[in-house]
Every structure is written in structure tokens, then in C-alpha cells.
Amino acid sequence: MRRLLPQAARAMADGTLGAIAYGAHGLSRVDWRSWPAEQAAAIEAFLHAWWQDALATSEPPYGVDAIFETCTAIARTVTPFLEGWVPGPAADAHLAHCADIWLYDLLSDDSPFSWWYDDTVDAGLTHLRAWLSGPGAARLHAVGEYDLATRAELLDLPHDERWDHPYWDSPSATN
């Protein structure tokens, strides 16, 4: 993995790796944090730089949801990627896109991630739900995505209360 990393990182960044988020990336399967400090720091720095570049780009080479899943599966955490999701026109559009995709699964207490399946995924999903129902929902409101924001806020409720919420009687009223 270490010998292939420079070429893989370049291909991930420029979109020539092929499809991502349809299978486990090699870095998500190895304990790269146990590598020499300089190498582990380079992986961490690449993931954050790739994520920031994707957020700032209207049409990155891969879908932002796929880039997020790849970064979080490799890092085994969502925290730095959610914290680094700074507001901006492209980033806010990506947030609306991801929320729309993720809420389908999250509202049913399922994972929206197809191949992040190690023992860190539950903590990641808990943090994603909390962020999306709090700061994420506030940002969605701020950019006029009221329906998505309202559905995201429902993540704060227990499952049964979530589905008994009056929102479901007339979701179009929140638009």
C-alpha cells in the first residue's frame, strides 16, 4: 500500500482511480496510523486536502458523498471532515446533496455508507446524526433548504417519535 500511495493519491484527487465508494479502499483495510509518523501524517494531510478541495469545487471528479465516505472509511472517523465542512456556495450545495442522500437511511436508523463497516462506523453514524440534526440543519435552513433542514432535525428524535412527527402529514408545507 505504501509503495502505491503516491499514484493512488494522485488518481483519487484527479478522478482517474475509477469508481470510488463501491468497495473498500485499500487504506481503509490497513492500519496506516501505525506506519512511521511522517507517512501517517501524509495520509491524514492528503485526506483533509482532498476533502477541502472537493468542498470548494462545484463538480469534483467524484460525488462529494463518495469522497466523504472514502475519507471517513480510511480515517475511521467523520469528525474532522464534518468540522472541516466550512460554509461556501459549493460546500453548501454539496451539503444539501449529501443530506438528501443520507437522510433516507439515517431517518430509518440505517447507515448511508455502503462499505464503511468496521467497528468505528457506529460512532461515526452517531456523530453524523448529531451534526446533521444540529449544525448541518442550521446551515440547510440558512441556505433555504427548509425541507432538508426539517428532516435533518428529526434525527434528534427517537425512531417512533420521528415517524409520528407532524412533518410527515404535509412535508411540502416546509418548502
- Type of residue numbered 141: H
Taking the CA atoms of residue 45, residue 50, residue 52 and residue 54 in that order, the dihedral angle to the nearest 10 degrees is -170
**What region does 157 belong to: left with phi over 0, alpha with psi -120 to 50, or beta?**
beta
How many domains does the structure of the chain reveal?
1
- Residue 140, classed as helix, strand or coil, is helix
The mean pLDDT value for 115-127 works out to 82
The answer to which of 2-6, 28-32, 105-109 has the lowest mean pLDDT is: 2-6
- CA dihedral for 23, 25, 72, 65, sign (positive or negative): negative
The cell numbers describing 166, all together, are 407532524
Instruction: Give how far Cα 119 sits from Cα of 1, 7, 76, 98, 116, Å.
Output: 22, 28, 9, 23, 9
Compute, in degrees rounded to 10, the torsion defined by CA atoms 63, 51, 97, 75.
90
3-state secondary structure of 80: helix
pLDDT reading at 13 higher than 80: no
Residue 33 pLDDT > 90: no
Which domain does 57 fall in, by range?
Answer: 5-174
Residue type for 170, please?
S
| pLDDT (average), residues 52-57 | 95
